[in-house]
């Protein structure tokens, strides 16, 4: 059996009781932290909490899947994933690969930024379009597909949840806003402006999350504290959403 267990958003204590029991009873425990990571804990704290040795896998190990699947043929194997399993296509591919090779799989879900981020801002989940990611630009590589999807969502009046790169280190909301402005210089569709309404969630799931909303030009220099950070590009607001942004995220009252 190969069991994918969601760890939730912040530290090892976010895991569900069902997930905790699966880890405690497993023969082998692995983890991957390249799709996301927990910012409120370290590996040694997790091992102490679970009473298990945890082997951290590389991206190649998980995408190849051989080590996990072979171990799960005759052992109870757990793969720990920050957030919720199956929100990354890598985990879906791993599950399909395991089942094709006759290895049973099980999923134990955890809290996800895809629901926590909008919820903390007070935005309605059904008003979101496609989720996008912003990677770090590289030499001779500056992808702008995120801009295109944000634009499509915005034209439909939908909000966009924007996930930020964590490799080699977590991207800040400030860096992401600057990258969006650079994309605007390339695409020139008048989408990303200083008066664009943006939501920022930092450290979702922690005891002290930061939740802010306002105009990009005002937020870009604001200190949101330590990572992980997430952005929302805000589309057409329902009046209840606008009220929530003002009261819960300190957005300018004029948006009402």
- What's the pLDDT tens digit per position in 101-126? 999 999 999 999 999 999 999 999 99
Q: 53 and 177: one domain? A: no
Q: 98 and 153: one domain? A: no
Q: 121 and 162: one domain? A: yes
Contact 197, 191 (CB under 8 A): no
Continuous H helices in the chain: 17-25, 43-50, 59-64, 66-71, 89-100, 113-121, 145-155, 173-187, 216-219, 239-249
pLDDT (tens digit per residue) in 205-256:
999 999 999 999 999 999 999 999 999 999 999 999 999 999 999 999 999 9
Q: 75 and 7: one domain? A: yes
N- to C-terminal Cα distance for the chain?
A: 52
R_g of the chain computed on alpha carbons: 20
Give the SS3 label for residue 83.
strand
pTM strictly above 0.75: yes
Q: 142 and 94: one domain? A: no
**CATH number for 173:** 3.30.950.10
Q: 97 and 130: one domain? A: no
Task: Inform me whether the pLDDT recorded for 25 exceeds 90.
Answer: yes
Q: Can you say how many angstroms the Cα of residue 131 is from the centroid of all Cα atoms in its chain? A: 10
Q: 163 and 236: one domain? A: yes
Rounded Cα distance, 220 and 231, in Å: 11
Instruction: Provide the pLDDT confidence category of residue 88 given band limits of 50, 70 and 90.
Output: confident
Tokens of 53: 């040795």
Domain residue limits at 150: 113-255
Q: Which of 85, 108, 131 is the last residue of a domain?
A: 108
In this prediction, residue 133 carries a pLDDT of 96
Q: Which of 76, 108, 140 is the last residue of a domain?
A: 108
Give the SS3 label for residue 106.
strand
Task: Inform me whether the pLDDT recorded for 139 exceeds 90.
Answer: no
Residues 6 or more apart whose CB falls under 8 angstroms from that of 241 comprise 122, 123, 124, 127
Number of compact structural domains in the chain: 2
Q: 98 and 119: one domain? A: no
In this prediction, residue 196 carries a pLDDT of 98
Contact 196, 147 (CB under 8 A): no
Task: Inform me whether the pLDDT recorded for 93 exceeds 90.
Answer: yes
Contact 39, 8 (CB under 8 A): no
Rounded Cα distance, 92 and 70, in Å: 17
Q: 171 and 65: one domain? A: no
Q: 11 and 35: one domain? A: yes
Rounded Cα distance, 1 and 150, in Å: 39
Q: Which of 108, 142, 170 is the last residue of a domain?
A: 108
Residues forming a β-bridge with 138: 141
In this prediction, residue 140 carries a pLDDT of 87
pLDDT (tens digit per residue) in 35-48:
899 999 999 999 99
Contact 83, 14 (CB under 8 A): no
Q: 60 and 135: one domain? A: no
Contact 62, 32 (CB under 8 A): yes
Measure Cα distances from 142 to 39, 178, 200 in Å: 27, 13, 23
Q: What is the mean pLDDT of the chain?
A: 97
**CATH number for 83:** 3.40.1010.10
Share of the chain above pLDDT 90, in %: 96
Rounded Cα distance, 193 and 219, in Å: 12
Q: 38 and 123: one domain? A: no
């Amino acid at each position: 059996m190969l069991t994918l267990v969601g760890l939730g958003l912040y530290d090892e204590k976010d895991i569900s009781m069902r997930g905790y029991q699966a880890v405690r009873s497993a023969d082998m425990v692995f983890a991957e932290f390249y799709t996301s990571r927990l910012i409120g804990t370290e590996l040694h704290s997790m091992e102490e909490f679970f009473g298990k040795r945890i082997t951290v896998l590389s991206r190649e190990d998980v995408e190849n899947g051989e080590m996990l699947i072979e171990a799960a043929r005759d052992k109870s194997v757990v793969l720990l994933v920050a957030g919720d399993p199956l929100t990354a296509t890598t985990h879906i591919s791993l599950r399909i690969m395991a089942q094709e090779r006759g290895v049973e799989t099980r999923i134990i879900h955890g809290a996800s930024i895809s629901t926590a981020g909008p919820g903390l801002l007070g935005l309605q989940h059904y008003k979101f379009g496609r989720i996008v990611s912003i990677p770090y630009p590289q030499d001779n590589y500056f992808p702008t597909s995120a801009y295109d999807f944000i634009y499509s969502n915005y034209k439909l009046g939908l909000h966009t949840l924007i996930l930020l790169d964590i490799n080699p280190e977590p991207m800040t909301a400030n860096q992401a806003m600057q990258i969006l402005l650079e994309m605007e210089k390339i695409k020139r569709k008048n989408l990303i402006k200083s008066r664009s309404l943006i939501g920022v969630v930092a450290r979702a799931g922690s005891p002290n999350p930061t939740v802010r909303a306002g105009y990009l030009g005002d937020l870009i220099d604001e200190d949101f504290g330590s990572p992980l950070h997430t952005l929302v590009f805000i589309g057409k607001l329902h009046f209840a959403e606008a009220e929530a942004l003002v009261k819960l995220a300190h957005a300018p009252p004029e948006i009402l």
